[in-house]
């Protein structure tokens, strides 16, 4: 104990000695500063005594200087970082939805450049605007000009820029739905230059849309794959699954996962394929897992189950099993994030997203993956300006990254209620991945549900139908547009096609039945309604429409009221608000009529308030 006290005693003496030395050293400085302050103070009094305005000027000036410093500090603190993803003014205007101004800027650029790439950009803008005839005319003019330059100067001199030009033209021809022209044009130049990834991706879409499936299969077989890129392998996996090569696609996706389990594109492909054909995807994965209990299949199936609230519990069971096996990476964190979001476990979801970000930052803080995840977190926190910065940084980190253009930025802009620029980002995403079914459907839904542009919505739903000709749900989406535009015959034809593709879906029968009833085709209408009822006796819309029939056609008040009351009693929480309102209003009106009926069944009843539901 004495030794400890002695030790502290020596330490205390050393500290006191050091402090005394510091004080001694500071005395001259303190004296100097004190003398300077006294001189300034004396000078200020002398000047102020001679001029009464000096003190107010100094006070006001000091205050203004202080305020200016505060403003500059606040400005520096709140200024949003500017990140550019454009290379010229025309592109900037394009992303600002200033299409006419962008066209004029491209025209100026074309005037200064003999190579017709800028005219192709103009053609693509016309295509985006829906002016496909004008777009295709410009493209044909470009072909003539391009051929002349290449013939005069030779292929070798122009190869690099020619490949860019050709693929841009191929894409725009295809999005104009001029599939024959795109295929003929693409195959001609493929013969000249050989296989090129961008051209093959665009040709793949043209082949599938034009029902040349065997040629699309050839593209997937001859694709010049980079076997060291998990991103590239994932893209090829997607193309294989889109031509119903599900086993091959899943095996390629497993190769990508073995190469880099953290590659976001693997999980993006599963999302897209879930939307494309979830039944085939789930069935293939479940069969694979039965054959071989491999971790990759478990991860893929967990991701697939995470796409729906109804199956999230299944996904959670698999992911817990993977945890026990020590499988822990960015991908599994994202699956846990999605599952917990679906299960309304907000804090847990946030923790897993943060975990994915930490893992990505540990690998590379400036990768597209890190910025993508940071953007996703900012979206979740409603920090949309910040999210947009990170999304653009992810693009600059990897310019081929279609999901930042087609998933992140549209989600951000829609959340900000800034709808004008959304379609241009979707378009760029499609240029990166023309065959991406999810992007096409998201764009169609955007036009249908967000900005109510029925013409463009129909265009992209029909493009999706060209790709997935056996998807009956697409006919229902187009049916909704037909109904809005009062195209009754077309609407009936769409539903009849949907029933041919899916004979077990009661929604198609009840909807077609309602349409027939409205048209006065009562016998067929009630038969279809009964068919729908036999498939789902608890469906409120079917019961409502049956009630309408008995009230309006049969004048059977008791039976009609019974059906509409059944519809009211069985209203599902998942039913859309418009349908709920109609059912509630119908019930109140029918109940009133029924009470009048009980009082006097021989009187005339006002049934004008009873409505059908499509």
Residues 204/219, Cβ–Cβ less than 8 Å: yes
In a domain, 201, yes or no: yes
Q: How far apart are CA 475 and CA 462, in angstroms?
A: 9
In the chain, the largest separation of any two C-alpha atoms, in whole Å, equals 115
In a domain, 368, yes or no: no
Query: CB neighbours of 542 closer than 8 A, spacing ≥ 6?
Result: 506, 510, 529, 532, 533, 536, 567
Nearest to 117 by CA among 107, 128, 127: 107
Q: Tell me: the pLDDT tens digits for 76-122?
A: 433 457 788 999 999 999 999 999 999 999 999 999 999 999 999 99
Q: Is the dihedral of CA 35, 39, 42, 45 positive or negative?
A: negative
Same-domain pairing of 124 and 45: no
In a domain, 32, yes or no: yes
Confidence (pLDDT) at 43: 56
In a domain, 330, yes or no: no
SS3 176: coil
Same-domain pairing of 35 and 125: no
In a domain, 197, yes or no: yes
Same-domain pairing of 120 and 190: yes
- The token pair at 95 is 């992303």
CATH assignment of the domain containing 195:
1.25.40.10
Confidence (pLDDT) at 22: 42
Q: Which of residues 179, 209, 224 is at a domain's end?
A: 224
Q: Is the dihedral of CA 175, 177, 183, 188 positive or negative?
A: negative
Same-domain pairing of 126 and 205: yes
Q: How far apart are CA 359 and CA 216, in angstroms?
A: 38
Same-domain pairing of 72 and 139: no
Query: CB neighbours of 222 closer than 8 A, spacing ≥ 6?
Result: 195, 200
Same-domain pairing of 540 and 592: yes
Query: CB neighbours of 250 closer than 8 A, spacing ≥ 6?
Result: 237, 241, 284, 285, 288, 297, 300
Q: How far apart are CA 610 and CA 574, in angstroms?
A: 22
Nearest to 162 by CA among 183, 142, 141: 142
How many C-beta neighbours within 10 Å does residue 275 have? 19
Same-domain pairing of 519 and 592: yes
Confidence (pLDDT) at 190: 84
Residues 349/337, Cβ–Cβ less than 8 Å: yes
Same-domain pairing of 119 and 212: yes
Confidence (pLDDT) at 251: 98
Lookup result for tokens 């209203």: 571
Nearest to 124 by CA among 160, 92, 186, 168: 168
Same-domain pairing of 68 and 130: no
Confidence (pLDDT) at 603: 83
- Kindly report whether the global pTM for this prediction surpasses the value 0.85: no
CA distance to 305, 557, 565, 580, per residue, from 571 (Å): 27, 21, 10, 7
Same-domain pairing of 71 and 15: yes
Same-domain pairing of 45 and 119: no
Q: Which of residues 172, 201, 224 is at a domain's end?
A: 224
Please identify every stretch of the chain with a pLDDT value under 70, giving residue numbers as ranges. Answer: 1-80
In a domain, 529, yes or no: yes
Q: Is the dihedral of CA 164, 167, 173, 177 positive or negative?
A: negative
In a domain, 96, yes or no: no
Q: How many domains does the chain fold into?
A: 3
Helices 346-363 and 330-342 pack at an angle, to 10 degrees, of: 160
Q: How far apart are CA 186 and CA 143, in angstroms?
A: 12
Q: How far apart are CA 104 and CA 172, in angstroms?
A: 19
Instruction: Name the residue range of residue 550's domain.
Output: 504-599
Same-domain pairing of 129 and 217: yes
In a domain, 195, yes or no: yes
Q: Tell me: the pLDDT tens digits for 362-385?
A: 999 999 999 999 999 999 999 999
Confidence (pLDDT) at 317: 95
| Phi, psi values for residue 226, rounded to 5° | -90, 100
Q: Which of residues 78, 103, 131 is at a domain's end?
A: 78
Nearest to 456 by CA among 182, 178, 129, 210: 129
- The token pair at 573 is 């929480």
Confidence (pLDDT) at 614: 87
């Amino acid at each position: 104990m004495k030794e400890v006290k002695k030790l502290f005693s020596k330490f205390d003496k050393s500290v006191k000695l050091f402090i005394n030395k510091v004080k001694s050293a500071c005395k001259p400085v303190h004296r100097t500063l004190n003398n300077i302050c006294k001189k300034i103070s004396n000078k200020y009094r002398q000047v102020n005594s001679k001029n009464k305005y000096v003190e107010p000027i100094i006070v006001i000036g000091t205050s203004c200087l202080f305020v200016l410093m505060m403003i500059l500090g606040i400005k520096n603190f709140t200024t949003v970082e500017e990140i550019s993803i454009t290379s010229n003014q025309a592109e900037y205007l394009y992303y600002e939805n200033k299409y006419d101004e962008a066209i004029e800027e491209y025209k100026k650029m074309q005037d200064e450049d003999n190579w017709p790439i800028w005219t192709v950009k103009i053609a693509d803008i016309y295509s985006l605007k829906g002016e496909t005839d004008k777009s295709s005319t410009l493209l044909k003019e470009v072909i003539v000009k391009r051929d002349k330059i290449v013939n005069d100067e030779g292929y070798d001199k122009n190869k690099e820029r020619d490949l860019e030009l050709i693929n841009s033209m191929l894409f725009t021809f295809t999005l104009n739905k001029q599939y024959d022209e795109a295929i003929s044009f693409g195959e001609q130049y493929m013969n000249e230059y050989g296989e090129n990834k961008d051209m093959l991706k665009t040709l793949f879409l043209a082949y599938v849309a034009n029902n040349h499936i065997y040629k699309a299969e050839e593209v997937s077989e001859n694709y010049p794959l980079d076997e060291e890129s998990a991103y590239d392998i994932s893209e090829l996996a997607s193309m294989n699954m889109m031509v119903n090569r599900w086993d091959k696609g899943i095996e390629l996706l497993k190769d990508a996962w073995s190469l880099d389990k953290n590659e976001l594109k693997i999980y993006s492909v599963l999302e897209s394929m879930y939307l494309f054909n979830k039944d085939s995807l789930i069935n293939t994965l479940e069969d694979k897992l039965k054959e071989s209990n491999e971790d990759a299949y478990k991860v893929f199936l967990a991701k697939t189950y995470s796409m729906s609230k109804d199956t999230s519990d299944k996904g959670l069971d698999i992911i817990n099993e993977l945890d026990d096996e020590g499988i822990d990476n960015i991908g599994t964190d994202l699956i846990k994030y999605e599952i917990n979001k679906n299960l309304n476990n907000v804090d847990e979801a946030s923790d897993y997203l943060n975990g994915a970000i930490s893992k990505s930052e540990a690998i590379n803080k400036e990768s597209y993956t890190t910025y993508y995840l940071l953007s996703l977190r900012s979206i979740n926190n409603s920090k949309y300006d910040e999210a947009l910065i990170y999304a653009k940084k992810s693009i600059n980190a990897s310019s081929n990254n279609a999901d930042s253009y087609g998933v992140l930025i549209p989600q951000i802009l829609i959340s900000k209620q800034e709808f004008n620029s959304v379609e241009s980002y979707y378009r760029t995403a499609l240029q990166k991945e023309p065959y991406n079914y999810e992007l096409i459907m998201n764009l169609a839904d955007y036009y249908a549900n967000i900005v109510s542009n029925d013409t463009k919505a129909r265009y992209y739903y029909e493009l999706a139908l060209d790709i997935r000709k056996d998807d009956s749900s697409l006919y229902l989406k187009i049916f909704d547009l037909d109904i809005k535009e009062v195209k009754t015959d077309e609407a009936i034809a769409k539903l009849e096609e949907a029933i041919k593709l899916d004979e077990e879906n009661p929604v198609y029968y009840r909807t077609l039945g309602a349409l027939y009833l409205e048209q006065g085709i009562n016998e067929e209408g009630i038969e279809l309604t009964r068919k729908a009822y036999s498939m789902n006796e608890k469906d409120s819309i079917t019961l409502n429409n049956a009630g309408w029939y008995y009230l309006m056609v049969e004048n059977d008040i008791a039976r009609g009221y019974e059906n509409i009351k059944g519809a009211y009693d069985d209203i599902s929480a998942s039913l859309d608000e418009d349908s709920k309102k109609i059912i509630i209003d119908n019930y109140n009106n029918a109940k009133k009529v029924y009470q009048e009926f009980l009082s006097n069944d021989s009187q005339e009843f006002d049934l004008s308030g009873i409505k059908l539901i499509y």
